Structure 1
Amino acid sequence: MSSFARVLSEHARTRPDDVAVRLDEHVLTWRGFDDATARVAAWLRADGVRPGDRVALVLPNVLEFPVLYHGALRAGAVVVPMNPLLRGREVSHHLTDSGAVLVLAWHTVADASHAGAVGTGARVVVVEPAATQALLAGHEPEPAVHDPAPGETAVLLYTSGTTGAPKGAELTHHNLFSNAVTTQECLVQLGEGDTVLGALPLFHAFGQTCAMNTAVVAGRTLSLLPRFTAAAALAVVERDRVTHFAGVPTMYVAMLHEPTATGFDLSSWRSCVSGGASLPVEVLRGFEERFGVSVLEGYGLSETSPVASFNHPGAVRRAGTIGTPVRGCEMDLRGADGARVTDGVGEIVIRGENVMKGYWRNETATAQAITDGWFRTGDLATRDADGYYTIVDRAKDMIDRAGFNVYPREVEEVLYEHPAVEQAAVVGFPDPLVGEEVGAAVVLREGSSATPEELQRHVKDRLAAYKYPRRVWIVTELPKGPTGKILKREIHPPARAEETQA
């Protein structure tokens, strides 16, 4: 089986001085990239990390991310990518559940990693460019490359679905490598001189596969952007002659409405892919008209490495759909009873070489998610006569805020920790800037008092900044069904005079 490490070594041999990764004026050639990952592997092995050990990465989109990610895979470690915005309690769950032995944390966000590592048995190493270079310089490149066994786990991506604490989706070496190769050969088709803009977070499946790993298998340049703004992204397109961009709908909305866009030379740009949420048809058309770049929309999940379907280049594109299944992947629709749906709405189920091995050390959740070899996505869709799928609703309660997944249960549990809260329901609602915004309806305990602002601060202090509810409102009761289950579909934000926004 081929691997990222072997591909890296091949690029180092055949195109040693071509740029592999770029961040502003800093570059890594393919020879330098391969050498750095070999030194990471040597360091990890000398430090006692063994094949199968979990190594957490808490880094933004910096040069060190692909180096440490692929160096750890080269050593046979299992990578646990984590959002650098997570707070200590969130970090603690990821480390405890994964059993990570080592945390590689970017210096500007290391405090949360130190706090979260307490009592977990994980050791934190702060990643800072100069110190990291000095550390790796002290180790000779490790020539050996770990050869993964069939089905061996490479990465744990944490996602909680609809309930409970986040679960680690076990993605194998084959899952990730085959999905990156399929993305390159069937979808983005990077060629000589192409450059990919890495604006999506690399800790997320979309950024890992459709930007970083696709660039690796194609042997093309990855140009990193640590923090997305429309103006910054367009400036990088101009400066680095970017040809390909992968992003979520909110990124396309921001660039479409960026007032300075006409001041950039974007003549190199030729293709884009969109995923993570539905891209409004009017945004797609407006973007293509303004920038003269085609946008192909697709669909995937962390559990599917992530690409599962796409509007394929060269085929009929149907705006508003998620296209057809990618190579090596099958999709179908099922009813609530598990029966196949041939007409109308059904739940998307997926099987193929991109589907995860299961949820890390969670047989119950795995059995619920994968039945008869089919992964149940929780997303509802229709399928037309030509096999194109269209998402019609989200069976999951997950909120997609600007491309970041917010799981209501996690926010609700923090709200319930406030002594004045009796009941809480967290819901998403449409927002023109971020797609979906986070809101919370709260019932207070009898005799207790708390303002919406106080409850908002309570959550903000305990969870990542993108998770806390921007709108909180106090209600006397929450709508419930006959069994007492809260009916979230009947919960809507009140008029602004009755709630708080920050």
Structure 2
Amino acid sequence: MANNFADLFEHAVDAMPDRTAVLQGERRVRFAELDARANRLADHLAASGIGAGAHVGFQMHNSVETMETLIACFKLAAVPININYRYGPAELAYVYDNADLDALVYHACYAEAVRAARSRVPRVRHALCVDDDTVRPAEDDAVPYESALADRPTARPSVPRGPDDLFMMYTGGTTGLPKGVMWRQEDMWRVLGGGIDFYTGEPVADEYQQSRIGAAGDPSTWFVLPPLIHAAAMMPTFTALWSGNAVIFQRRFDPEAVWAGVARHRPQVLVITGDAMARPLIDAYRRRPVDASSLLAIASGAALLSQAMKNTLLETFPAAVVSDSIGSSETGFGGIGFAQKDDDPARGPRVRTGRGAVVVDDDGRPVPPGAEGWLAKTGAVPLGYYKDPGKSERLFKSVDGARVVVTDDRARAEADGTVTLIGRGNMVVNTGGEKVFVEEVEGVLKANAQIYDAVVVGVPHERWGHQVAAVVAGAEPGPIDFGALEQHVRDHLAGYKVPKQIWVTDAIVRSPSGKPDYRWAAGHIAGRAPDHRSA
């Protein structure tokens, strides 16, 4: 089986050429049209020296052109590299250099930062700029995207492709430097692209099964809200396309526009990222309800939903299934859970594992039911970190002859085969010898009606080493009743887990994928007196 992402896409094109593939604003692009434009871009890139194994950065928000860029790269067996468009010039220059970019495709609104970063990294020899609603700087020397496609042939490139072709996803940056996680494309397809059925765990029969089944049924529409620079959006998008379904994109996450799109396009699936998207979506829906009866599934990935938001989603959209998935760039899909109302907000998210996810001890061996350990992954796992053999060796291990990825996530193996997530080991606050996982405290804080969003960090303490602290955003204007908030936390958690200092802010800063930016939180509280101190 070929199992290259481009092959899987072309199978869908051949089986369903006239179906709608992508919707963006007023644009509606058919599978055959998306394929033809990707072929034109691939021809331009090939003529510019981009071939198998070349690294092509895409610094782009969600758009038709973003998908064309990804597909064109895969058609050439080149490696698209996701570039966080929120980065400044110094961070961009680091990623451009670390990823060994040969070329870059970017939207015009990022041109100034791109120009500053490229001046520091001369190896990026070719650049394409995609027009948006921003006026390009006069000194921008990149090739205009549409000009690059003009008069190019629409025939598919004749390039050898295979399952070993590289897929790379840059991850991190909220707590440390970004790093590239390398996968074989077949392995990524297996764990996050439907190559293994998400619910039954059964591998598909062949590379044509998704397109074959898609062509035999009616298409659905998926509204993918997270940014395509994150696997939480890229892989659901490809999964949908490989099965002949349509995908809706927005340039930026705009809750009011999302509901307008739901009312207009009637999607069956809404892909979101945790509370960071769920809360503003609920707020916007309450302000201006629309007919959302088409929604059959609200699927969250990359950042878990708090119990409070699960309750709200289930109450607001009773006909929809609400799911939470665990995974990472280092593990792919690790398991899925379906929301139930009124679970204990202090209990970690519980999921039924899949794709070889297990809980292991410090030696990488499975723990018995009831025991805690590290969430790990066997089977289809990454090749390692790009240009970092030391980090790769620490994370990607061999246990009893089997390749295992041992993550920083603490988890507990349950007797019924599920796994309860406790928190990230690298985000733990050690206070007086007790370990506090920040996600646990964040979930309880956000379950209080006064709190809209929260990030928990550790602050130095002379006696205890560190204490638990929090930065919170209120749900309503006006002061927060800190006494009531503290009592709420104590009702669910031990006293040493209660935040001893709290800073109030207008909004919590998160990454484009919705994950908390802990570096921002640390900088926000530095040199600033807390709004509340606990006794």
Which residue does 2:486 correspond to in 1?
none
Which residue does 1:276 correspond to in 2?
302
For 1:84 and 1:148, locate their aligned partners in 2 and report how far apart those are by CA, in whole Å.
29
Q: How many angstroms does 1:142 deviate by?
A: 4.1
Which residue does 1:182 correspond to in 2?
194
- Tell me the SS of whatever aligns to 2:293: coil
Amino acid at match of 2:530: A
Conserved 8 A contact 2:364-2:404: no
For 2:290 and 2:357, locate their aligned partners in 1 and report how far apart those are by CA, in whole Å.
41
Q: How many angstroms does 1:322 deviate by?
A: 4.2
Which residue does 1:346 correspond to in 2?
373
- Tell me the SS of whatever aligns to 1:231: helix
Name which of structure 1's ranges 94-103 and 336-345 shifts more when overlaid on structure 2: 336-345
Which residue does 1:40 correspond to in 2?
41
Identity of aligned residues (%): 20
Q: How many angstroms does 1:339 deviate by?
A: 4.4
Q: How many angstroms does 1:381 deviate by?
A: 0.7
Which residue does 1:394 correspond to in 2?
424
Q: How many angstroms does 1:233 deviate by?
A: 1.6
For 1:49 and 1:196, locate their aligned partners in 2 and report how far apart those are by CA, in whole Å.
32
Aligned CA distance change for structure 1 residues 240 and 350 (closer, same or farther; 3 Å): same
Conserved 8 A contact 2:12-2:242: no
Aligned CA distance change for structure 1 residues 16 and 149 (closer, same or farther; 3 Å): closer
> Aligned ranges for residues 85-124 of structure 1 at < 5 Å?
85-120=86-121, 121-123=123-125, 124=127
- Tell me the SS of whatever aligns to 2:426: coil
Q: Does 1:31 align with 2:32?
A: yes
Conserved 8 A contact 1:297-1:322: no
Which residue does 1:135 correspond to in 2?
148
Any idea what the Cα deviations from partners look like across 1:417-471, whole Å, max 9, x if unmatched?
xxxxxxxxxx99847477543879699xxxxxxxxxxxxxxxxxxx999663486
Specify which of 470, 495, 498 is matched with residue 530 of structure 2: 495
Q: Does 1:165 align with 2:177?
A: yes
Which residue does 1:472 correspond to in 2?
524
Conserved 8 A contact 1:53-1:78: yes
Which residue does 1:449 correspond to in 2?
none
Number of matched residues?
426
Aligned CA distance change for structure 1 residues 396 and 441 (closer, same or farther; 3 Å): closer
> Aligned ranges for residues 151-230 of structure 1 at < 5 Å?
151-159=164-172, 165-182=177-194, 185-187=197-199, 192-210=218-236, 212-230=237-255
Which residue does 2:490 correspond to in 1?
none
For 2:357 and 2:329, locate their aligned partners in 1 and report how far apart those are by CA, in whole Å.
16
Conserved 8 A contact 2:3-2:163: no
Which residue does 2:18 correspond to in 1?
17
Question: Is there any run of 5+ residues in structure 1 with no aligned partner, and where?
Answer: 400-426, 444-462, 476-492
Which residue does 1:247 correspond to in 2?
272
> TM-score, normalising length from structure 2?
0.72
Q: Does 1:125 align with 2:156?
A: no
Q: How many angstroms does 1:377 deviate by?
A: 1.1
Once superposed, what is the RMSD of the aligned Cα atoms? Answer: 3.3
Conserved 8 A contact 1:41-1:142: no
Any idea what the Cα deviations from partners look like across 1:30-89, whole Å, max 9, x if unmatched?
010110111111111001112101000000011111110111111111110111111111
Aligned CA distance change for structure 1 residues 242 and 365 (closer, same or farther; 3 Å): same
Q: Does 1:289 align with 2:315?
A: yes
> TM-score, normalising length from structure 1?
0.77
Amino acid at match of 2:241: V
Aligned CA distance change for structure 1 residues 175 and 339 (closer, same or farther; 3 Å): closer
Question: Is there any run of 5+ residues in structure 2 with no aligned partner, and where?
Answer: 134-143, 201-209, 430-437, 462-510
Which residue does 1:148 correspond to in 2?
161
Aligned CA distance change for structure 1 residues 281 and 437 (closer, same or farther; 3 Å): closer
Any idea what the Cα deviations from partners look like across 1:381-440, whole Å, max 9, x if unmatched?
1121121111112102399xxxxxxxxxxxxxxxxxxxxxxxxxxx99847477543879
Which residue does 2:64 correspond to in 1?
63
Aligned CA distance change for structure 1 residues 183 and 267 (closer, same or farther; 3 Å): farther
For 1:129 and 1:10, locate their aligned partners in 2 and report how far apart those are by CA, in whole Å.
31
Q: How many angstroms does 1:246 deviate by?
A: 1.5
- Tell me the SS of whatever aligns to 1:396: helix
Name which of structure 1's ranges 11-20 and 21-30 shifts more when overlaid on structure 2: 11-20
Q: How many angstroms does 1:176 deviate by?
A: 2.7
Q: How many angstroms does 1:186 deviate by?
A: 2.8
Q: How many angstroms does 1:321 deviate by?
A: 3.5
